[in-house]
Amino acid sequence: MKYLVQSIIKTIPVLLLITLIVFLLIRVTGDPVSLMLPETATEEERDSLRESMGLNEPLPIQYFTYLGELVTGDFGDSFRYNTDALSLVLERLPATFELAIASMIVAIVISVPLGILSAVKRNSFFDLFITGGAVLGKAMPNFWLGIMLILFLSVTFQIFPVSGRGTLGHLVLPAITLGTGIAAEMTRLIRSSMLEILEQDFIRTARSKGLGESIIVNKHAFRNALIPVVTIMALQTATLVGGTLITETVFAWPGLGQLLVQSVNLRDMAVVQAATFIIAIFVILSNLLADLIYRFLDPRIKYE
C-alpha cells in the first residue's frame, strides 16, 4: 500500500512535465487563431478571439491558468466540434480500448506458443522459421501492413470490411495490424527468457525427478519467464496507444488516435491537450499495474 501511494505521488511531476511540453509545443508551432478564423477575418476579430481565449497573456500566465482549469477537469471546448474537449476524448476511449485489447490478445495468442516452441526446438527448422518470422513482423510498418490487408482481404477477397467500426469483422484487420509488431517482439523475448530458464538448475532437478517435459516447460519454466514478458507488455501499452494513431487513421476507426491526428492537423488545442493527458495517465497506470503483477508472479520481489 505504501509503495502504491508513493508511486501515485511520483506520477504528479511526470504529468506536470507532460502538460508543460504539450502546452509549449502547441503554442510554438504557430498561431491557433489563424486556423480558427477565415482568412477574411479582420485584425479586430483576431484580437478579440485571442483575448477571449487568454492567448494575449504571457505564456507563464497561460500555463498556470491552464493548470488551474486542468485540476477541475476543464480542458476547454473544441472549436471544431463545439463541445467539451474532455467529454469528446472520453467518448472515443472505448473504441481505442477495444482495439488495444483485441490487438494484445492477437499478440499473446501468436507469441506465447511460438516463443515456447522456438525455445524448446532450439536451432531447429521451427526455431529458424519462427525467428525469421518475428524479425519480418517487427520490420513491417503498421500502415503498410494495414494497407496490404485491406487490398487482399477486403478489396480482392471481400472477407472483411474495409473500414469503420460496429461488428467483429470490422475489428479483425486493425487488431492484426496493430498486434503483429507486438507479437514479433514478444515472441523473441519469450524465446530468450525460456532459453535462459531452461538452463537453470531447478529445471535439471525437475527433469531428474522424472517430471514430464510438458509440465517442466509449461508449469515451471514459462511462469519464471513471465516477468520480462510482463515488462514488455506494459511497455507495449504505450506502443499500442501510439500505434492506434496510424492504425485508426488507416482503417477509419473512430477512436482516440484518429481524433488526436485530426485535432493536431486542425490545431484544436483543447482536444490535443485533453487527449495527450488521458494517454499519459493510461501509460502511467499500465506501468504501475506491471509493478503489481511482478509481485504476484514472484513473491520474492518486495518494494520499499
What is the full DSSP assignment across 52-103?
HHTTTS-HHHHHHHHHHHHHTT---EETTTTEEHHHHHHHHHHHHHHHHHHH
| pLDDT for res 304 | 55
| pLDDT for res 239 | 66
| pLDDT for res 173 | 93
Between helices 125-139 and 85-120, what is the axis angle to 10°? 160
| pLDDT for res 153 | 92
What count of Cα atoms within 13 Å lies in the side-chain half-sphere of residue 202? 9
What does the alpha-carbon distance between residue 110 and residue 233 come to, in Å, rounded to a whole number? 14
| pLDDT for res 238 | 64
- 219 or 95: which leads in pLDDT: 95
pLDDT at 115 over 80: yes
Nearest to 68 by CA among 122, 124, 6, 19: 19
What does the alpha-carbon distance between residue 148 and residue 130 come to, in Å, rounded to a whole number? 21
Per-domain residue ranges of the chain? 1-72, 87-297
pLDDT at 303 over 60: no
pLDDT in tens, 142-155: 889 999 999 999 99
Nearest to 267 by CA among 25, 22, 26: 26
Nearest to 245 by CA among 232, 233, 259: 259
pLDDT at 113 over 70: yes
Residues 6+ apart with CB under 8 A from 21: none
| pLDDT for res 35 | 65
4-to-10, 115, 162, 285 alpha-carbon distances in Å: 10, 32, 44, 11
Q: Which long-range contacts (CB under 8 A, 24 or more apart) does 83-89 make?
A: 85/268, 85/270, 85/271, 85/273, 85/274, 86/274, 88/259, 88/271, 88/274, 89/256, 89/259, 89/271, 89/274, 89/275, 89/278
Q: For 87-297, which CATH class?
A: mainly alpha
pTM for this predicted structure: 0.79
pLDDT at 21 over 80: yes
pLDDT at 220 over 80: no
Is residue 42 within 8 A of residue 64, CB to CB? The reply is: no
pLDDT bracket for residue 78 (50, 70, 90): confident
pLDDT at 223 over 80: no
pLDDT bracket for residue 298 (50, 70, 90): low
pLDDT bracket for residue 172 (50, 70, 90): very high
| pLDDT for res 265 | 80
Residues 6+ apart with CB under 8 A from 302: 295
What does the alpha-carbon distance between residue 188 and residue 158 come to, in Å, rounded to a whole number? 33
The Cα diameter of the chain in Å comes to 86
> pLDDT averaged over the chain?
82
DSSP state of 165: S
pLDDT in tens, 134-144: 889 888 888 89
| pLDDT for res 302 | 61
